[in-house]
A and B are shown apart, each in its own frame.
Chain A
Amino acid sequence: MTTLEGRSLSLSFGVHQVLSNLDLELKAGEIHAIVGLNGAGKTTVMRVLLGMLRPDVGEVLIAGKPIDGLQSDDWSSIGYLIETPFVYPELTVRENLSMAASLKGVASGDVADLVDRAIVRLGVGQWADRRSAELSLGNMQRLGLAGAVVHNPDFLVLDEPVNALDPSGVLMVRKLLKEEVERGSGILVSSHHLDEIARVADRITVIHRGSVAGTIDPSEADLERRFFHIAYEADAAAGLVTS
């Protein structure tokens, strides 16, 4: 089965250990959510999985291949939105998406059709030929999501995808994730919104202080209580809790 996998990942910024022996796997056809407190290492592990940061220890494999040896075709199978949307303010919405599709390896003859489809899916048709600088924060986020999925990737890595979105945007993201996973994509998604993530995730991993601290069944009744219990247990095991 096709996977995106991080094995025994450790990373330090100076004396600050941000990832510690972290294992994470994403399979095709599943939504794997990662949750954690601010600074837990969610965004950092996503950056490592995408090659933006090199781990001090450990390796990243995409479809079984080490990330260092990937060819351009292999990278075409990835779509992502990490923090800032891939948007140039001087370009129109359509131009931004065309550029994203081309840089992600879409053949020139297919770009226009895929861009039109992404514009419809993310509901940015009204602004398609406007400069992106004119977009609101929410619509900028929609454009960033459209750029992440425009090339029909096998894996999607989305960091806080509902950031800045209004309720209709949140519903749109929910629908988008379901459609992508039905198409066979594997989706790694981070969020602070436990209830929202539980609606779509197949499994939830808790990241705490740069390590995997536990898992949560999305169907559990009291997600918040379970989340804080896992974080507390991890702190207690590390001797960080005083009674």
Chain B
Amino acid sequence: MRVAIKSEWLKLRRSRVTLTIGFLVAFAIPLMSYAFYWVADSGGFGPLAVKADGLIVGTGWDGLFSSSGQIVAAAAFLAFGVAAAWCYGREFADRTFPSLFALAVSRRTISLAKLVVLLLGSLLAVVVMTLVIGALGLMTSLEVSSTSIVGGLGRVFAIGLLSALLAVVAGLVASIGRGYLPALGLLIGLVAIAQLAVLFGTGGWFPFAVPGLIAVAGAEGVPAVTGVQIALVPLLCAVIAFLTARWWGSAQAV
């Protein structure tokens, strides 16, 4: 396993795709979140300001946490999903999949190693993202929050991490579909379905809607997400990891 993780980490570290995604999550998402909060807080009457004001709950730190949570829930899921689609799908697009046969390291192990490095990379990006959001709030001297700053940042961190766990589904679909495109289509579809699940009031039991629901927790008419519903996210991630490894173990190089 160590050899496989080392190889996959090297590929992830050298890829422009994953470096760009890491940069976007770590820096672009915090800047977008702050900009969205700032537009809502500025009291303007433009279409964006009205839209932002309707979505963001609270002012000061509360407003920034609300803005960050909602943006992270969608953007981080898509970003990490693209990384997962690339990590698995590139073996088919670059035609390296046949070269992963007849090795001392099994394909099942390689599949799990891909998952490990994706989650490690995602964790790193989410940590930096959370720190940058905190730094933006401190630098602009936001009003004191109704919850602690550490608690609010912890919630944003959790939303990012849950999004990363859910995004591994793109790896499974990229494997079965033998390329990136099926996985990219699925990611967009899942974001849309999650929105519908929330609208119909069943979002808490649809794991892909859970990060978004945590982001708007406390808003009027939004049911609280239970511990069991949150626990479904890592459980689903484990099931996806198992299915992906099984597929890699039995797939042929046709």
Measured CB to CB, the residues of A under 8 A from B are 13, 47, 50-54, 72-73, 75-76, 78, 80, 82-91, 95, 99, 102-105
Q: Which of B7, B95, B252 contacts A84 (CB 8 A)?
A: B95
Docked-complex contact A52 and B253, CB < 8 angstroms: yes
Looking across the interface, which residue of chain B has its beta carbon closest to that of A147? Answer: B99
Docked-complex contact B98 and A72, CB < 8 angstroms: no
Q: Which of B4, B94, B106, B253 contacts A88 (CB 8 A)?
A: B94
Residue B96, interface by CB 8 Å: yes
Docked-complex contact B14 and A75, CB < 8 angstroms: no
Q: Report chain A residues within 8 Å CB of B14.
A: 88, 90-91, 95
Q: Which of A84, A87, A104 contacts B104 (CB 8 A)?
A: A104
Q: How far is the CA of A75 from the CA of B107 in the complex (A)?
A: 12
Q: How far is the CA of A13 from the CA of B252 in the complex (A)?
A: 13
Looking across the interface, which residue of chain B has its beta carbon closest to that of A157? Answer: B102
Q: Report chain B residues within 8 Å CB of A72.
A: 103-106
Q: Which 8 A-B residue pairings sit nearest by Cβ, starting from the closest? A: A105-B104, A86-B99, A52-B253, A72-B104, A84-B95, A90-B14, A50-B102, A102-B3
Q: Report chain B residues within 8 Å CB of A83.
A: 95, 98
Tell me the interface secondary structure of chain A in the complex.
loop
Q: How many residues of B contact A (CB 8 A)?
A: 24
Interface flags for B90-113 (1: CB within 8 Å of A; 0: not) read 000011101111111110000000
Looking across the interface, which residue of chain B has its beta carbon closest to that of A73? Answer: B104
Q: Report chain A residues within 8 Å CB of B51.
A: none
> Beyond A53-B252, A78-B102, A104-B104: 10 further Cβ-contacts under 8 Å?
A13-B254, A47-B253, A52-B102, A75-B102, A75-B104, A80-B102, A88-B96, A90-B15, A102-B6, A104-B103
Q: Which of A53, A75, A95, A99 contacts B254 (CB 8 A)?
A: A53
Q: Report chain B residues within 8 Å CB of A52.
A: 98, 101-102, 252-253
Residue B196, interface by CB 8 Å: no
A72 to chain B, nearest CB (A): 4
Q: Report chain A residues within 8 Å CB of B252.
A: 52-54
Looking across the interface, which residue of chain B has its beta carbon closest to that of A67? Answer: B102
Q: How far is the CA of A82 from the CA of B98 in the complex (A)?
A: 8
Q: Which of A13, A73, A84, A91 contacts B99 (CB 8 A)?
A: A84
- Can you report 20 A-B residue pairs in the complex whose CB atoms are below 8 A from each other? A47-B98, A52-B98, A52-B102, A53-B252, A53-B254, A72-B103, A73-B104, A80-B102, A82-B99, A84-B94, A84-B95, A86-B96, A86-B99, A89-B94, A102-B7, A103-B4, A103-B7, A103-B103, A103-B105, A105-B103
Given contacts A83-B95, A90-B15, contact A99 B104 (CB under 8 A): no
B248 to chain A, nearest CB (A): 13
Docked-complex contact A51 and B102, CB < 8 angstroms: yes
A57 to chain B, nearest CB (A): 16
B90 to chain A, nearest CB (A): 8
A169 to chain B, nearest CB (A): 20
Q: How far is the CA of A43 from the CA of B222 in the complex (A)?
A: 59
Docked-complex contact A91 and B10, CB < 8 angstroms: yes
Docked-complex contact B106 and A50, CB < 8 angstroms: no
Looking across the interface, which residue of chain B has its beta carbon closest to that of A86? Answer: B99
Looking across the interface, which residue of chain B has its beta carbon closest to that of A85? Answer: B99
Q: Report chain A residues within 8 Å CB of B98.
A: 47, 52, 82-84
Docked-complex contact A103 and B104, CB < 8 angstroms: yes
Q: Report chain B residues within 8 Å CB of A99.
A: 7, 10
Looking across the interface, which residue of chain A has its beta carbon closest to that of B13? Answer: A90
